[in-house]
Structure 1
Amino acid sequence: MIAMSLYATEVNQLTAAWLRRTEGAGVLSGAGLWPLLAVLASSADEPGRDELAAAVGLSADESMDAARDVLKALADLDGVDAALGLWAQQAAQVRPEWRDTLPSGTFGELTGDAAVDQPVLDAWARERTHGLIERFPVQAGPELMLTLATALALRTTWQRKFSDEPWQVSGGVWAGRRLAGLQRTTPDADDLRVADSAAGPLTLTRVAGDNGLDVHLVLGEEGAASGDVLAAAVPLVAGDAAVTGGAALLESGDVARWPGVSTVSAQRPGLVLRTARFTVRSLHDLLRQADVFGLRAVSTGDRDHFPAIGPVPLRVDQARQAAVAIFSATGFEAAAVTAIGLRAVSMPVYRAQAVAVSYDRPFGFLAVHRESGLVLFAGWVDSPEDWSGASQRERPQPGAMRDRLPRHPAQ
């Protein structure tokens, strides 16, 4: 757990930056993406190296070690499975010494045939997420020279379960809907916390799992941008910003100004929580926000961005995350598969044309004095010599032939 305490701030910063650029319903995992960016940062040259390091929040020189530490720490968490996968075509010529620096994981070969490769990648995604993610987010094919991926799966059971009941919502955008409601009453009012933030007043409610994993429900002011609300909540749930607990809120009587908060009559102090079941799925194209993830430089240009990987020039061609989250009366489960695909850099395309000629049958020759145009020698080659190493070494030097040529009787 030391690694997570060391790098939680950096991972959270990436998550918050991503959230600020995300609007609407969806689910994402900065923890699933961060190790991949760290691996790329350590493997890239400039200018992509600095861009990736900035997104990771560490120097490129320490990023590979950090990626290994974070993936191991995630996998060691109770209720969490984390895995890394690398697949490459033989034509990518991946350096063994680079592969040996990667976090331990699955290493496989790509054939370049999507009909063969895609089922293998899809099966890995399903197996590593307990069936929550059915399809690998990067598309296989002849241009996919290498893909690096993480799979992250989380499961927890609530310490206190909810009761299932229909919920008729009376106001807001859900007015008139009959939802799959969840309700429970717990004695700890401080599971509710409120705070002022850059996104306005926020209300957060902790739902504790039985294996050390919690889910925090977050509500902002009506009309507040979802990305801003969630990004502002990140430091609050991480303990990096001040919050007011529900018990203190009850004592102060300052309840009405906080989103979704009210008071009800009860036999004893505590917290009554009502929410709804949900399943959310997302597929994120990370290259649409390449600047957030440090992927701008390494995904453009006809040059090699990752010389550490191998001699074949490579650039990022695909970067996607598939994610799902399921909240029910008994618990919570979520999974994400994040993959980055690299392709060989295209060689320059020359627009001009040139002619070519091959003397591959008997041909003649002329020896001409350039200035006067005088033809000094003329001849025909009907039987050129065959290659022989010995004959090439023993070939007489120019001028030596004069002593060997028979002299004409007139001379």
Structure 2
Amino acid sequence: MATHSIVMGFPSHEMAEDVIASPWQRLGGCVIAPGMWTAECLTCGQRETVEDPGPHFDGWTAPDVSAASAVSRFAARCRGDLDQAETSVVSHAGLWLLLASVSEHVTGEDGERVAQILGMPTEDATAAAHRLLAEPHPTLAATFGAWVAEGVTTPLSGADRGIPEQAWLDQWASDRTRGLINRFPVQVDASTLLLLATALVLEPRWTEPLRSSGAYGLVLTGGLQTIVDTEAAGLVAVAKPHSEDAVDVVSVIADPRVPPSQVWKGVDEVVELLSKGALWHAEKPAGTPDVGHAWKCRTRVESVLRGEAGEGGGPVRRWSSRLRRWSAQETLDLIATPGLAEVARALLPEITDPEVECVQSVRGEFDEDGFRAAAITAVAMVTRMPDFVETKVERVELDFSRAHAVVAIARGGAWESVPLVSAWVTKELSRPLRTMPDTDWESLELLAETDPDEAAELISYKRRRMRERGES
């Protein structure tokens, strides 16, 4: 776990330079005891004293955040191009992952444009996407799926042949989002040529449940709470409950007069500071007013345990944040996603200007126990609707409602053409339709769970037709 460090004791010149260059280190400012450090967790602000750690803590290799930077820039572009600054919930990571997974096939001028949109060369983007999908994460699960219709030419080598049925895709969505999303966001049919999808699900839990306050309110007394002066949004308040699940869930609030687009730029600044270790719990910029757009500060004398008293006579820092219990679910039309048209052209080179559909189903929930979110992002490419012409059509309907014969004939080997079973079917032999295995009735029962009005109308029609045919 990365930590903030405060160096106690008189530092050497080299140590002072090292501290100045590191946002996660500070000098204690006084000589207390040589070899004593106070460590503060980067992600939650919790502290503990470390005895005799040596001149430095063990070093660590900075992680590769190129993919994170690319997704952040892509998200900022989508918020502007798709007018998503006030969208209740969306997963730009799921959308980036889908496009990046196949971007290596986009070349020429289209490839240059897609590379600029994805934030890295197309081959690098595909490699980054594959790495994200391959490396396990303790809380996050990510999946990519690709299906292509039989006989369709595409450069995708790993796509499954055959477009799955809708029920199978619904189950795929449910399985890969742990039941948070139960329906695949696009409908497939015989015209579907190519189908791509990504699934993301994450369920980090707070180390300590938040305290409830009213029907919708929550109170955070630990974790990381601070006030940050951002260039884009001015002073913002930041709250992040502590979680040990390797996912930071950061809430940021700005002055209500700041446009949402600027607030998101401020959020990017906050996240960058957090990633660099430059956010410190329970701190506010110099000159911050005691009363702001989302905070009130007051200092008064109270009785506290001796061990809680601030060092050097400083005040005890006790911060709390009032958060909201919330949930949101969206089905987003993402057809205007930058780079989507270029990807479609590259993946179906023999189809002239195919019809493309891009939809995301996404859900998020924040409560006293943790955060849950899932997203299914899907792209379907279909043939254009054919031109219709007027012509003669002969329709023939055969009616077996009167007495008729049925025979079962064997085929193959010594049994070839042997009539195995024969029957003369009359009305008296007819059985009520409801007693026979009937996939229509099963389908209607399933439909009733999601759309009872439509199911009732179809059931009524089915029963009316049965009565007209003399079936009970």
- Does TM, scored on the shorter chain, surpass 0.5? yes
Q: Counterpart of 1:306?
A: 346
Structure 1: which amino acid aligns with 2:77? Answer: A
Query: For the residues of structure 2 that align with 1:346 and 1:3, how far apart are their CA atoms?
Result: 49
**Residues 223 and 67 (structure 1), Cα distance of their counterparts in 2 relative to 1, 3 Å cut:** same
Picking from 264, 268, 271, the partner of 1:230 is: 264
Q: Counterpart of 1:19?
A: 79
Q: Deviation at 1:2? A: 8.8
Q: Counterpart of 1:149?
A: 197
Query: For the residues of structure 2 that align with 1:25 and 1:295, how far apart are their CA atoms?
Result: 20
Structure 1 gap ranges (5+):
112-116, 167-178, 300-304, 352-411
Picking from 232, 244, 248, the partner of 2:283 is: 248
Q: Identity of paired residues, percent?
A: 23
Structure 1: which amino acid aligns with 2:318? Answer: G
Picking from 320, 325, 340, the partner of 1:277 is: 325
**Residues 3 and 254 (structure 1), Cα distance of their counterparts in 2 relative to 1, 3 Å cut:** closer
**Aligned residues of 2:147 and 2:194 also touching (Cα < 8 A):** yes
Q: Counterpart of 2:94?
A: 32
Q: Counterpart of 1:361?
A: none
Q: Counterpart of 2:142?
A: 82
Query: For the residues of structure 2 that align with 1:230 and 1:196, how far apart are their CA atoms?
Result: 11
1:99 pairs with 2:168: no
**Aligned residues of 1:14 and 1:55 also touching (Cα < 8 A):** yes
Query: For the residues of structure 2 that align with 1:241 and 1:262, how far apart are their CA atoms?
Result: 28
SS of 2:361's equivalent in the other structure is: strand
**Aligned residues of 2:86 and 2:260 also touching (Cα < 8 A):** yes
1:110 pairs with 2:163: yes
1:135 pairs with 2:195: no
1:8 pairs with 2:68: yes
**Aligned residues of 2:230 and 2:269 also touching (Cα < 8 A):** no
Q: Deviation at 1:162? A: 0.9
SS of 2:329's equivalent in the other structure is: strand
Q: Counterpart of 2:245?
A: 211
Query: For the residues of structure 2 that align with 1:48 and 1:138, how far apart are their CA atoms?
Result: 26
Picking from 173, 187, 202, the partner of 2:236 is: 202
Q: Counterpart of 2:218?
A: 182
Query: For the residues of structure 1 that align with 2:167 and 2:321, how far apart are their CA atoms?
Result: 43
Query: For the residues of structure 2 that align with 1:45 and 1:314, how far apart are their CA atoms?
Result: 17
1:71 pairs with 2:133: yes
Please, which moves more after superposition, 254-263 or 315-324? Answer: 254-263
SS of 1:131's equivalent in the other structure is: coil
Picking from 186, 191, 205, the partner of 2:225 is: 191
The C-alpha deviation readout for 1:36-95, integer Å capped at 9, x for no partner, is: 11134222344432222211111123332222112223xx11111111111221132445
Query: For the residues of structure 2 that align with 1:248 and 1:164, how far apart are their CA atoms?
Result: 25
1:335 pairs with 2:374: yes
SS of 1:67's equivalent in the other structure is: helix
Q: Compare relative contact order (CA 8 Å, sep 6+) and give the higher one, 1 or 2.
A: 1
Structure 2: which amino acid aligns with 1:110? Answer: I
Query: For the residues of structure 2 that align with 1:344 and 1:128, how far apart are their CA atoms?
Result: 28
Structure 2: which amino acid aligns with 1:36? Answer: L
**Residues 243 and 283 (structure 1), Cα distance of their counterparts in 2 relative to 1, 3 Å cut:** farther
SS of 1:10's equivalent in the other structure is: helix
Query: For the residues of structure 1 that align with 2:350 and 2:252, how far apart are their CA atoms?
Result: 48
SS of 1:214's equivalent in the other structure is: coil
Picking from 137, 147, 161, the partner of 2:209 is: 161
Q: Counterpart of 2:420?
A: none
Aligned positions of 1:296-375 closer than 5 A: 296-297=341-342, 305-306=345-346, 311=350, 315=354, 317-344=356-383
**Aligned residues of 1:192 and 1:206 also touching (Cα < 8 A):** no
Query: For the residues of structure 1 that align with 2:291 and 2:340, how far apart are their CA atoms?
Result: 41
Query: For the residues of structure 2 that align with 1:65 and 1:244, how far apart are their CA atoms?
Result: 31
| CA RMSD in angstroms, aligned pairs only | 3.2
TM-score by length of 1: 0.67
Please, which moves more after superposition, 206-215 or 223-232? Answer: 223-232
TM-score by length of 2: 0.59
**Residues 181 and 340 (structure 1), Cα distance of their counterparts in 2 relative to 1, 3 Å cut:** same
Query: For the residues of structure 2 that align with 1:283 and 1:236, how far apart are their CA atoms?
Result: 28
Q: How many residues align?
A: 312
Query: For the residues of structure 1 that align with 2:192 and 2:128, how far apart are their CA atoms?
Result: 26
Query: For the residues of structure 1 that align with 2:291 and 2:276, how far apart are their CA atoms?
Result: 19
More strand by share: 1
Please, which moves more after superposition, 138-147 or 230-239? Answer: 230-239
Q: Deviation at 1:254? A: 1.6
Q: Deviation at 1:271? A: 1.6
Structure 2 gap ranges (5+):
1-60, 305-315, 390-472
SS of 2:295's equivalent in the other structure is: coil
**Aligned residues of 1:121 and 1:136 also touching (Cα < 8 A):** yes
The C-alpha deviation readout for 1:240-273, integer Å capped at 9, x for no partner, is: 78976453328x4624475312125675422211
Query: For the residues of structure 2 that align with 1:138 and 1:3, how far apart are their CA atoms?
Result: 36
Structure 2: which amino acid aligns with 1:143? Answer: S
